[in-house]
């Protein structure tokens, strides 16, 4: 079967990447940027630092700092209004997954018209989005380099999955210096999100040898570096390795897609406004327990990448070891114990399960589930 591989055409990684990126932006001839970001990054002075660098190169800047942690249709509309008022000719997303996703929504509607909800699903848009440069500050959602855009529809209380080749940024930037001093809880949640990307891509029915290589290397790097990045936020080596890891996990899931962990976590995020990475971390072992019946060898490979000696194990034993290793890593980075601690209610599960089965991310899970089975997985995670 023929496969396509999607990735931004230029990707800059490592210390000093931001300066390199601004030289590239200047060379591309853009003159006025809409920076899409959030208030915490304004408050710590990061947005002003990037703005100064752009101004020095003669590039004007308009700032939209209204992105919420789970970006909404309202956020997209507010950013789009600012873009149109100021006639910006390109967009820079600065932050983690939320600013990148919101910026993709703005960029897609800017050229295609209508509302962002018109583009829910796979490859619905007709035209390339407005040029988007994505400067990443967490490791990570990998949204700076993927074609995935997740926007909350406030009216329906769901997260819409927009999977569209036209949302791919033209340039992605991963400078670990921007990731230093991020709070431990954010580092843990985003790191577990990256682990989930790699594992879901590795067991996906759309996996191929390229995505497999990316996923396994990502799992190895996350296993070796996430605890250090969480416990010693100024460890630049751990931060840089996590930046590479989340990028590799992004390469994997951008092309092999995801599974029920994301399909289900999106519903928790949309319904209760919970952090994406924490929801993933809590659902990951339970969904892989469900998947272990059909992909034990794949999960045994995951255990090996997480440092388990699987040489004398059966595939089923290896799969169990992977699930144990995932739980141990979650515990080591202080992820909450269960969904009940996050306020998830048993009576909401039938609705959450119904919406999870409609989420495009679940279509590549290695085993398709019934509504009852999804309800059971949610219940197991309570
Ligand atoms: Fe994710």
Render pLDDT for 61-92 as a digit per residue (tens, 0 to 9). 999 999 998 899 999 999 999 999 999 999 99
Q: Is 180 helix (H, G, I), strand (E, B) or coil?
A: coil
Query: Is pLDDT of 1 > 80?
Result: no
How high is the pLDDT of residue 104?
98
CA of 313 to the centre of ligand 1 (A): 30
Give pLDDT tens digits for 235-283.
999 999 999 999 999 999 999 999 999 999 999 998 898 999 999 999 9
Q: Which tokens hold the place of 89?
A: 């000719």
CA of 276 to the centre of ligand 1 (A): 7
How high is the pLDDT of residue 102?
98
How high is the pLDDT of residue 158?
83
How high is the pLDDT of residue 2?
82
Q: Give the residue-averaged pLDDT of 12-34.
A: 96
CA of 71 to the centre of ligand 1 (A): 14
CA of 361 to the centre of ligand 1 (A): 10
Give pLDDT tens digits for 180-202.
978 999 999 999 999 999 999 99
Domain with CATH 3.40.50.1970 in the chain: 10-178
How high is the pLDDT of residue 380?
97
Query: Is pLDDT of 213 > 80?
Result: yes
CA of 29 to the centre of ligand 1 (A): 33
How high is the pLDDT of residue 316?
98
How high is the pLDDT of residue 181?
75
DSSP 8-state secondary structure symbol assigned to residue 129: P
Number of continuous H segments (helices) and E segments (strands) in the chain:
14, 9
Q: Nearest-CA neighbor of 301 among 156, 197, 203?
A: 203
Domain with CATH 1.20.1090.10 in the chain: 184-381
CA of 141 to the centre of ligand 1 (A): 5
CA of 33 to the centre of ligand 1 (A): 27
Query: Is pLDDT of 360 > 90?
Result: no
How high is the pLDDT of residue 140?
86
* Cβ atoms 219, 248 nearer than 8 A: no
CA of 347 to the centre of ligand 1 (A): 25
Q: Give the residue-averaged pLDDT of 24-31.
A: 95
- What average pLDDT does the structure give for the chain? 96
Q: Report how far residue 71's alpha carbon sits from residue 74's, in angstroms, rounded to the nearest whole number.
A: 8
CA of 30 to the centre of ligand 1 (A): 31
CA of 87 to the centre of ligand 1 (A): 32
Share of the chain above pLDDT 90, in %: 93
Which of the following CATH numbers is that of domain 10-178: 3.40.140.10, 1.10.150.20, 3.40.50.300, 3.40.50.1970? 3.40.50.1970
CA of 31 to the centre of ligand 1 (A): 32
Side-chain-facing half-sphere of 243: CA atoms under 13 Å:
28
DSSP 8-state secondary structure symbol assigned to residue 364: G
How high is the pLDDT of residue 161?
87
CA of 371 to the centre of ligand 1 (A): 22
pLDDT band for position 103 (cuts 50, 70, 90): very high
SS3 content of the chain, % helix, strand, coil (to 5): 60, 10, 30
Is this model's pTM higher than 0.85 or not?
yes
How high is the pLDDT of residue 15?
94
CA of 140 to the centre of ligand 1 (A): 8
Record: fold of 184-381:
Dehydroquinate synthase-like, alpha domain (1.20.1090)
How high is the pLDDT of residue 156?
85
CA of 197 to the centre of ligand 1 (A): 6
Q: Give the residue-averaged pLDDT of 359-366.
A: 93
How high is the pLDDT of residue 85?
98
Q: Give the residue-averaged pLDDT of 28-36.
A: 97
Which range among 34-38, 125-129, 156-160, 347-351 shows the weakest confidence by mean pLDDT?
A: 156-160
How high is the pLDDT of residue 349?
97
Q: Report how far residue 34's alpha carbon sits from residue 14's, in angstroms, rounded to the nearest whole number.
A: 24
CA of 281 to the centre of ligand 1 (A): 10
Ion ligand 1 neighbours (CB, 5 A) are 193
CA of 209 to the centre of ligand 1 (A): 21
Q: Which tokens hold the place of 185?
A: 């809880």
Q: Which tokens hold the place of 241?
A: 């390795």
How high is the pLDDT of residue 338?
95
Q: Is 324 helix (H, G, I), strand (E, B) or coil?
A: helix
How high is the pLDDT of residue 178?
94
């Amino acid at each position: 079967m023929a496969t396509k591989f999607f990735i931004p055409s230029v990707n800059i990684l490592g210390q000093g990447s931001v300066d390199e990126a601004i030289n590239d932006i200047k060379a591309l001839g853009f003159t006025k940027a809409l920076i899409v970001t959030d208030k915490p990054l304004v408050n710590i002075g990061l947005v002003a630092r990037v703005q100064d660098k752009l101004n020095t190169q003669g590039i004007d800047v308009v700032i939209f700092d209204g992105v919420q942690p789970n970006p909404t249709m309202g956020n997209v509309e507010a950013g789009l209004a600012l873009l149109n008022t100021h006639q910006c000719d390109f967009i820079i997303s600065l932050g983690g997954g939320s600013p990148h996703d919101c910026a993709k929504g703005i960029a897609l509607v800017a050229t295609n018209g209508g509302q962002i909800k018109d583009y829910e699903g796979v490859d619905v848009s007709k035209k390339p989005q407005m040029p988007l440069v994505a400067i990443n500050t967490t490791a990570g959602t990998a949204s700076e380099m993927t074609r995935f855009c997740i926007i909350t529809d406030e009216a329906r209380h769901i997260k819409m999955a927009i999977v569209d080749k036209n949302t791919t940024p033209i340039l992605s930037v991963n400078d670990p210096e921007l990731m230093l001093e991020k709070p431990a809880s954010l580092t843990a949640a985003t790191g577990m999100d990256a682990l989930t990307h790699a594992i879901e891509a590795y067991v996906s029915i759309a996996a191929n040898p390229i995505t497999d290589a990316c996923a396994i290397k990502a799992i190895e790097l996350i296993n070796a570096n996430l605890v250090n990045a969480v416990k010693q936020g100024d460890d630049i080596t751990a931060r840089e390795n996590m930046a590479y890891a989340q990028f590799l996990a992004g390469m994997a899931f951008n092309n092999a897609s995801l599974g029920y962990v994301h399909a289900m976590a999106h519903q928790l995020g949309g319904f209760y406004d919970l952090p994406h990475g924490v929801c993933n971390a809590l659902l990951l072992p339970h969904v892989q327990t469900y998947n272990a019946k059909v992909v034990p060898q794949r999960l045994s490979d995951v255990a090996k990448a997480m440092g388990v000696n699987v040489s004398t194990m059966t595939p089923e034993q290896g799969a169990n070891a992977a699930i144990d290793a995932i739980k141990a890593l979650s515990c080591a980075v202080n992820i909450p114990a269960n969904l009940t601690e996050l306020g998830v209610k048993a009576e909401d599960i039938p609705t959450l399960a119904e919406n999870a089965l409609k989420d495009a991310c679940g279509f590549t899970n290695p085993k398709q589930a019934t509504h009852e089975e999804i309800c059971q997985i949610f219940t197991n995670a309570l």
